Structure 1
Amino acid sequence: MTTTTRTTTTTMISTRTVAYPADGLTMIGHLALPAGVDRRPAVLLGPEGMGLSDVERRRADALAELGYVALAFDLHGGRYLADPEEMLARCLPLLADPDRLRRIGQAALDVLRAEPRTDPDRIAAVGYGTGGAVGLELGRAGAGLRAIATVNATTTGRPGEAAGIRCPVWVGVGSEDPIMPPAQRDAFTAEMQAAGVDWRLTVYGGASHAFHHPPVDHPTVPGVGYHPRHAQRAWRDVVDLLTECLPVTGD
């Protein structure tokens, strides 16, 4: 594992890139640390299917400003897959293979737990799209998370494995999302309910897939679109879950 440190003086947080192996690739994550020297609750932050971008890096920085250790993890070995066809060719096999998703997530979780500022017993997973599916699979695998929040990820798991989730789960999805349609949402909530999970689902009226993601300068697949009002609401919902399940205390 290698790191490069860059201190952010305007907010007194510090950030560094972290290289680590997963899925046969060298992943390049973004670690953000709050001010102080004490241990803090931590957040594993997963990106949409295109991969890690400045959007997730800024979110990790925002979480550090709130007092969390945050690791925005990588999906594609340091690459951002702007071409929708290339992205789907990479992500569809991942989404069909829960064990690969878990290995990708576990590798990042190991990096986060090894950070001296992290309280290893207080970690949440927050993910978007494919990154959200990673968080859910970590929960199904019994990773010991304190909370799971996903946007655009109502992916179901293998039968019975949702019983491994022992923390609150919040999911946000757009009402007009063709990738996560009502039937998929219903299957997901039925899975959570059958497993006795403490779950919540928020449907944002009029929003499409990836409604949380600011406009991009490359082609997108149909049914994808930014909704700034709901993007702000979804972020507040994520922070509310973290505040409930991982309150920040310390310096």
Structure 2
Amino acid sequence: MTTVTTRTVEYPADGLTMIGHLAVPAGDGRAPGVLIGPEGPGLSDVDRRRADALAESGYVALAFDLHGGRWFADPEEMLARCLPLLADPDRLREIGRAALDVLCAEPWTDPDRIAAIGYGTGGVVGLELGRAGVDLRAIATVNGLTTGRPGDSARIRCPVWAGVGSEDPIVPAAQREAFTADLQAAGVDWRLVVYGGALHAFHHPQADQSPLPGVGHHPRHAQRAWHDVLDLLTECLPLTG
């Protein structure tokens, strides 16, 4: 396990001062970078731990912010912030590019080897970076399955992995089918894993505390989804070469 240095980073995006969490592995050379996007309520310790875990493996990881340091416990406040974002790809791309700039400015990051992984809204940010033509090595999105603007997915130049719960009412079967049809028509190298019996936000340990219906933690599938993301990084963003 690699020794890790962590620090808080502040940077502007979407008219806010974002507060991200950067985790850097010890070493003498540059390492691949990974953007980690949080789900709708915002950046939490769950995302920070993911960044730390990736840095322990040897990646430079930035868990980025969506809401200027805020975490929304109230679902109505969260939706009031997130729904306009999800309807505006340009704002999502601005948030993603600002975080990408911070990650690439880190001296130990190899700017030519970057992946984006994310959950819910944070996963859509990664997709929109790909749709903007950003040169990523891989995109992983859990729950964040959107089609974006017509034709934009043709600009994605890397493999896309997506995960979703079979019983997720927020991302129902019709939305999953539209998402995969969009990627297929665009010629994207894609794969979708549907985790049987899982609800929305199944990956998050505190999901059972959410007042939103259709949300719940599934520990076994949460672990499987994380390993699937790690497998994607191993394939597309190896730590050597």
Q: When the two structures are superposed, what TM-score results if normalisation uses the length of structure 2?
A: 0.98
Q: How far did 1:215 drift?
A: 1.9
The worse-fitting range, judged by mean Cα deviation, of 219-228 and 142-151 is 219-228
Residue in structure 2 matched with residue 118 of structure 1 by the alignment = 109
Residue in structure 1 matched with residue 186 of structure 2 by the alignment = 195
Give distance in 2, aligned partners of 1:11 and 1:244.
Answer: 20
Give distance in 2, aligned partners of 1:145 and 1:11.
Answer: 24
Residue in structure 2 matched with residue 146 of structure 1 by the alignment = 137
Residue in structure 2 matched with residue 43 of structure 1 by the alignment = 34
- For residues 1-251 of structure 1, the aligned pairs below 5 Å read 12-215=3-206, 219-249=210-240
- Residue 72 of structure 2 aligns to which amino acid in structure 1? L
Give distance in 1, aligned partners of 2:190 and 2:207.
Answer: 31
**Number of matched pairs:** 241
1:77-122 superposed Cα distances (whole Å, 9 cap, x missing partner)? 0011111110000000000000000000000001111111100000
8 Å CA contact 2:39–2:119 kept in 1: the answer is yes
Give distance in 2, aligned partners of 1:220 and 1:33.
Answer: 35
8 Å CA contact 2:208–2:216 kept in 1: the answer is no
8 Å CA contact 2:37–2:117 kept in 1: the answer is yes
Distance change (3 Å), C-alpha of 1:141 and 1:237? same
Q: How far did 1:65 drift?
A: 0.6
The worse-fitting range, judged by mean Cα deviation, of 31-40 and 120-129 is 31-40
Residue in structure 2 matched with residue 6 of structure 1 by the alignment = none
Give distance in 2, aligned partners of 1:214 and 1:166.
Answer: 32
Give distance in 2, aligned partners of 1:149 and 1:214.
Answer: 19
8 Å CA contact 2:34–2:115 kept in 1: the answer is yes
- Residue 152 of structure 2 aligns to which amino acid in structure 1? E
8 Å CA contact 2:54–2:60 kept in 1: the answer is yes
Q: When the two structures are superposed, what TM-score results if normalisation uses the length of structure 1?
A: 0.94
Give distance in 2, aligned partners of 1:152 and 1:216.
Answer: 13
8 Å CA contact 2:207–2:215 kept in 1: the answer is no
Q: How far did 1:37 drift?
A: 2.7
The worse-fitting range, judged by mean Cα deviation, of 241-250 and 23-32 is 241-250
Q: Which runs of 5+ in 2 are unaligned?
A: none
Q: Which runs of 5+ in 1 are unaligned?
A: 1-9
Give distance in 1, aligned partners of 2:169 and 2:105.
Answer: 38
Q: How far did 1:38 drift?
A: 1.1
